[in-house]
């Protein structure tokens, strides 16, 4: 059995993983589109543009307000994914669900845009360990490879620049 570490360390790890989740999601999908292909997957990526922009913090809107909303957007894209990236999407979705389920089991309220991880301090050791394990799975090399494969496929097949916006960065 793994040691769970101090509550402060667990909060830091979970906070870092939540940032990573949103970063992976944003790096794995994105915002400028040149409309090269009309297949259902590419159309789904284009149709999710507002939600994706909110997810990665490139939009002032709040189209995606919760982890569940974010997961819903990504599950919708995964459902349309072609065979070349279906396994990669499955890898990410399963890990995201695992983290969501572990956080909920530990008593963390995932509603709203500010997730309060203080519930982890009072969670039983098994629930806390499950959150840590789920966070490590999401931060794994396998998950990073899946995200990169999704990003490459969307760029090459759909003309979607993942993680990019159509606006110039502020100076």
Q: Which residue has the higher pLDDT, 170 or 136?
A: 136
Write down the pLDDT at residue 154.
82
Write down the pLDDT at residue 8.
62
Q: Which residue has the higher pLDDT, 79 or 165?
A: 79
Q: What is the C-alpha separation between 44 and 77, in angstroms, rounded?
A: 6
Phi-psi group of 57: left, alpha or beta (phi > 0 → left; psi -120 to 50 → alpha; rest → beta): left
At residue 137 the predicted structure's pLDDT band, cuts being 50, 70 and 90, is very high
Are residues 151 and 27 in contact, defined by beta-carbon separation less than 8 angstroms?
yes
Helix (H, G, I), strand (E, B) or coil at 151: helix
Helix (H, G, I), strand (E, B) or coil at 160: strand
Q: Which of 78, 80, 88, 123 is nearest to 105 (CA)?
A: 123
Q: Which of 145, 171, 151, 138 is nearest to 31 (CA)?
A: 151
For 116-125, the pLDDT digits (tens) are 788 888 899 9
Is the predicted pLDDT of residue 104 greater than 80, yes or no? Answer: yes
At residue 156 the predicted structure's pLDDT band, cuts being 50, 70 and 90, is confident
Write down the pLDDT at residue 38.
61
Write down the pLDDT at residue 6.
65
* 54-63, 89-98, 100-109, 115-124: least confidently modelled range: 54-63
Q: How would you class 61 by CB atoms within 10 Å of its CB: exposed for 0-12, middle for 13-18, buried for 19 or more?
A: exposed
């Amino acid at each position: 059995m793994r040691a769970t570490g101090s509550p402060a360390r667990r909060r830091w790890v979970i906070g870092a993983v939540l940032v990573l989740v949103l970063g992976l999601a944003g790096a794995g999908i994105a915002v400028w589109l040149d409309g090269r292909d009309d297949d259902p997957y590419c159309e789904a990526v284009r149709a999710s543009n507002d939600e994706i922009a909110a997810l990665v913090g490139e939009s002032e809107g709040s189209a995606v307000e919760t982890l569940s909303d974010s997961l819903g957007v990504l599950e919708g894209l995964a459902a349309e994914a072609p065979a070349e990236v279906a396994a990669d999407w499955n890898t990410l979705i399963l890990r995201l669900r695992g983290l969501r389920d572990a956080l909920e089991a530990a008593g963390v309220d995932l509603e709203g845009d500010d997730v309060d991880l203080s519930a982890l301090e009072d969670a039983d050791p098994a629930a806390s360990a499950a959150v840590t394990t789920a966070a490590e799975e999401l931060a794994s090399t396998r998950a990073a490879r899946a995200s990169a494969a999704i990003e490459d496929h969307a760029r090459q097949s759909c003309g979607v620049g993942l993680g990019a916006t159509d606006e110039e960065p502020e100076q």
